[in-house]
Amino acid sequence: MKILVTGGLGFIGSHTVVELQSKGFEVVIIDDLSNSSEKVIDGIVAITGIKPTFEKFDLKEKTKVQDFFKRHSNISGVIHFAASKAVGESVEKPLLYYENNIGTLVYMLQELSAMQSANFIFSSSCTVYGQADKMPITESAPVKEAESPYGNTKQMGEEIIRDTCKVVPALNAIALRYFNPMGAHPSTEIGELPIGVPQNLVPFITQTGAGIREQLSVFGGDYPTQDGTCIRDYIHVVDLAKAHVVALERLISGKNTENYEVFNVGTGTGSSVLEAIQSFERVSGKKLNYKIVDRRAGDITAAYADTTKANTVLGWKAESTLDEAMKSAWDWEQKIRK
Ligand code: UD1
């Protein structure tokens, strides 16, 4: 079965390509390389021994999207990762984010709506919950007003898919609400490649450990949590990648009960920033230079998933511990600095 993975050379996309190939799926990647590199294909080949088909183009080029589906009429499913994801940049350039994330989603859904049947997996985010009132967060928690244009594109993306599924019964879709992805493939052939100064915690930790950054700023030590730092649900990217394959198989085998479904994808365990630092120190044997500074604007106190729905309905569960995920992130950091 042939699966289209948009953004398939990115962080989560590349790990998902590996998991798809190891399950026997044939993968076609579309990626514009705006935040990734063609070298990622070599990493995928080193792990699976299979070279995915790769087409380089920007999904904003609608005629190219149309042409792609004419040439690949036998696509069994689409996993749509391609999107811009920097929260701060989205505040500066909202229209870029609406065009990149919403415009391309609409083009994709237009093509899929014209097919006899189509299966679609969408990258959503726990950001849609904002600061939820209750922990752990279930899928029925209310969607809060978005903090950023990036977050808004995830909320709007879900709504666009839901509205389309209502009128296109042959379209089956699942939105996966990711918590905080981290880590790298245990082979260290693929991993996260942040451009410039990392905005996310784990690459900042590993770069500090590697001496590329002098000090990690811990944003806020006065939150109402056990140690005063924010709590997140850090999930190993390989576990997250596997959730995509399981979700896709659910659609392909027609096991979905509605044609639009939503699942949280997290571990169910919340870890504080200080716990993440301690995990790094355990797995690396290094002391991390960090300092508690002011809160970062827009951060929420805590977010971790209730994963009951994914566990029972998808039959998927995150397997890796925080230490295992952190070790893979550290192994990867050391490998790319060699
Ligand atoms: C961020 C985005 C979120 C997006 C997700 C994708 C914001 C406000 N939210 O989530 O919308 O879906 O990335 O991965 O940007 N921290 C530090 N020092 C650092 C970096 C982070 O203390 O240098 C802390 C943060 O305050 C937070 C935690 O680490 O408590 C995780 O931060 P981060 O990795 O940026 O993820 P989120 O903010 O949860």
Q: Are residues 221 and 323 in the same domain?
A: yes
Tokens 């415009």 belong to which residue?
Answer: 103
Q: Are residues 241 and 310 in the same domain?
A: no
Question: What's the one-letter identity of residue 305?
Answer: A
Cα-trace Rg, the chain:
19
Per-residue pLDDT reduced to its tens digit, 261-318: 999 999 999 999 999 999 999 999 999 999 999 999 999 999 999 999 999 999 999 9
Average pLDDT over residues 188-209: 96
**For residues 243 and 264, what is the distance between their CA atoms, to the nearest angstrom?**
10
User: What's the CATH code of the domain at 285?
Assistant: 3.90.25.10
Question: Do β-strands 231-232 and 271-272 pair in parallel, antiparallel, or remain unpaired?
Answer: antiparallel
Q: Are residues 210 and 241 in the same domain?
A: no
Q: Are residues 21 and 149 in the same domain?
A: yes
- Do 200 and 237 form a contact (C-beta atoms < 8 A)? no
Joined together, the tokens standing for residue 243 give: 């959730």
Q: Is the pLDDT of residue 162 over 90?
A: yes
Average pLDDT over residues 243-255: 98
Q: Is the pLDDT of residue 150 over 80?
A: yes
State the distance from the centre of ligand 1 to the C-alpha of 270, rounded, in angstroms: 14
Residue 129 annotated among the catalytic residues of the structure: no
Whether residue 315 has its Cβ less than 6 Å from ligand 1: no
Chain mean pLDDT for the chain: 97
Pick the atom of ligand 1 nearest to 181's CA. 14
Q: Are residues 305 and 166 in the same domain?
A: no
Quote the pTM value: 0.98
Per-residue pLDDT reduced to its tens digit, 310-333: 999 999 999 999 999 999 999 999
Tokens 């999930």 belong to which residue?
Answer: 235
Burial 188-207 (b: 16+ CB within 10 A, else e): bbbbbbbeeebebbbbbbbb
DSSP H or E run through 119: strand 118-125
Average pLDDT over residues 178-185: 98
235 DSSP assignment = E
List the residue whose alpha carbon is closest to atom 36 of ligand 1: 200
Q: Are residues 176 and 228 in the same domain?
A: no
Residue 260 β-bridge partners: 173
List the residue whose alpha carbon is closest to atom 16 of ligand 1: 201
3-class state of residue 264 by DSSP: strand
- Do 252 and 119 form a contact (C-beta atoms < 8 A)? yes
Q: Specify if 169 maps to a domain.
A: yes
3-class state of residue 218 by DSSP: strand
Q: Are residues 175 and 305 in the same domain?
A: no
DSSP H or E run through 182: strand 180-182
- Strand ranges across the sheet with 2-6: 53-56, 26-31, 2-6, 75-80, 118-125, 171-178, 260-265
Pocket test for ligand 1, best of 97, 215, 273, 301 (most atoms within 8 A of CB): 273
Percentage of the chain modeled with pLDDT above 90: 98
Per-residue pLDDT reduced to its tens digit, 82-137: 999 999 999 999 999 999 999 999 999 999 999 999 999 999 999 999 999 999 99
Per-residue pLDDT reduced to its tens digit, 15-35: 999 999 999 999 999 999 999
Q: Is the pLDDT of residue 338 over 80?
A: no
Question: What sign does the dihedral 231-232-233-237 (CA atoms) show?
Answer: negative
Pick the atom of ligand 1 nearest to 126's CA. 12
* Domain around 77: 2-181+235-265
pLDDT band at 244 (very low <50, low <70, confident <90, very high): very high
State the distance from the centre of ligand 1 to the C-alpha of 37, rounded, in angstroms: 24
**For residues 80 and 120, what is the distance between their CA atoms, to the nearest angstrom?**
7
Catalytic residue among 150, 223, 260, 304: 150
Q: Are residues 93 and 74 in the same domain?
A: yes
Question: What's the one-letter identity of residue 84?
Answer: S
- pLDDT for 106 equals 98
Pocket test for ligand 1, best of 155, 200, 278 (most atoms within 8 A of CB): 200
